[in-house]
Structure 1
Amino acid sequence: MYSFTPCTVHRFLLLLLSYLLLGFGSLQAAPVAASIAGERGLAFRLSLDGQPVSRGARPQVYLDQLRLGYHWADFFIPAGRGRGYNYRTQIFLPDGFETNFVLVARPGFPPALRTVSTVPLAPPVVSYPTPGHPAPGYPAYPSPGYPAYPAYQTPVYQLAPAEVDNLLQAIQRRPFDDARMAIMRDALRDSFIESEDARRLIKSLSFDENRIETAKFLYSRVADRHNFYQVYDALVFASSIREVQEYVQSVR
């Protein structure tokens, strides 16, 4: 027979409680990951929350086992001859998702880190073939807020604010909506823009039916789909807004 003193029982209960709390925390904690790619092969060094995470400059960094929530990201972008640029920004990482960023540094503009997709780390199970889904081996995205390209690919190109301004000026030089819409489609065939820029482009059109058609086209070209509600400000009638909303719901 074993006998336990009150002190031994107390220690055993504390130890058991600690293990239970650790186990509960591991069940509650969802995976968090992020990838950061330099636009057009741009190389950079990265520190996250003050801790270096890359040795030397590289064009892409993948991070996993991260803490969810806000983090400080510090970049050093080499410029040759030992010189370079420092850029600091705050990023948010939701639990259960991989957030993909692109680092943009173009002549004449300050560096910028842009969110291009947020994808679940545990993708939904899809039976193939299913109408509207990609071929086997590709994830069953897009979902709300995710651009329409595979999660593991870097987006082709995202227009900078100055480039959107140039596009808007080119559109406004055309007198008719048909020509304006043709320029938009050509310029955004392989590119992404922000929701606010989409609103500006749509508002340049004269007729609401053309604005509706363009809003539907631009939905798949918007990088920050969680802000797509800004586009509705460019539509004149409530019925037009409802039509675009119904379209968005149908393709999510």
Structure 2
Amino acid sequence: MKQFFTLLISSLVALSSFARPPQTILSVSSFSNTNLRITIDGYNYNFNNDDDFVLNNIQPGQHQIKIYKTKNRGYGYGSNNSTIIYQSNVFLRNNYHTDITINRFGKVFIDEAPIGFGGYNNYPNNYPNNYPNQTYNNPMGLVGFEALKSSVNKERFDDSRLNIIKQAAINNYFSTDQIKQLIGLFNFESTKLELAKFLYGRATDRENYFIINDVFSFSSSRDALSKYIIEYRP
């Protein structure tokens, strides 16, 4: 009887897994008029801008993704015919839909949501605000982040530098390490603290935010940031 019960439970688990198989979706949407080519883990895909590019049931985990602007649709895999506009290692989570969007200016944004989230059927209406300690976005890609730092370094005054970062943070998220690099571009303690507070809500790995303490020269700044994080409400 015990053996039969164990077999029955195993069968039910197997049937449940078969009924709702895990899946991971990657899509690329473009509002740009340029022709694009996508490379995922070294494999090339042509992208017709008239339709979204979608890969269903892609293997969850880390993937190297590159997006090129090409001169001719469907041709020209050579480096002379294409310019890279996005390059990053993207972690795709199981049962999540990750979407990469290229706006009409050629800027790249990335976001993700649980599969089935669009209809709000299985999640509270204010999701993900019910989960203030979690984020569901990937950090800014390497190319875009380096461009952001370059733009900041071109400005002479801290106010202008700060405004550029705040503008970029409207549509982008950052890893804690990226935030640490951005704060390191400033000299004044007060500006560092202001930026550390501002970007906490845009961090993809808030559990690692303690490393930001390294950028401060005074314990009062570290204490102020800790107090802000404890009392933080999105």
Over aligned residues, Cα RMSD in angstroms?
A: 4.7
Instruction: Tell me the matched-pair count.
Output: 202
- Spell out, residue by residue over 1:13-40, the C-alpha distance to the aligned partner (whole angstroms, 9 max, x if none): xxx9997564143367444223334585
Secondary structure at 1:190 match in 2: helix
1:13 is matched with which residue? none
The reply to whether residue 191 of structure 1 matches residue 168 of structure 2 is yes
Q: How does 1:240-251 map to 2 (within 5 A)?
A: 240-248=221-229, 250-251=232-233
Say which of 135, 146, 150 aligns to 1:161: 146
Q: Give 5+ residue unaligned stretches, structure 2.
A: 1-7
* Residue 184 (structure 2) aligns with: 203
Higher Cα Rg: structure 1 or 2? 1
| 1:79 correspondence with 2:68 | no
Contact 1:45/1:76 (<8 A) preserved? yes
Aligned to 1:145: 135
- Please give the TM-score of this superposition, normalised by the length of structure 1: 0.54
Go from structure 1 to structure 2 and tell me whether the alpha carbon gap of 1:237 and 1:69 turns closer, same or farther (over 3 Å shift): same
- After TM superposition, the score normalised by the length of structure 2 is 0.57
In the alignment, structure 1 residue 33 sits paired with structure 2 residue 25? yes
Measured after TM superposition, the shift of residue 63 of structure 1 is: 3.8
**Cα offset, 1:220, TM superposition:** 4.1
Distance 1:25 1:91 in 2: 26
Asked if the contact 1:71/1:92 (under 8 Å) is kept, the reply is yes
- The aligned amino acid for 1:198 is I
Which residue of 1 is the match for residue 3 of structure 2?
none
Deviations 1:135-182 (A, max 9, x none): xxxx544852346xxxxxxx9xx9441441231241xx33xxxxx1x2
- Structure 2 counterparts to residues 97-108 of structure 1, below 5 A: 97-102=96-101
Distance 1:55 1:44, change over 3 A: closer
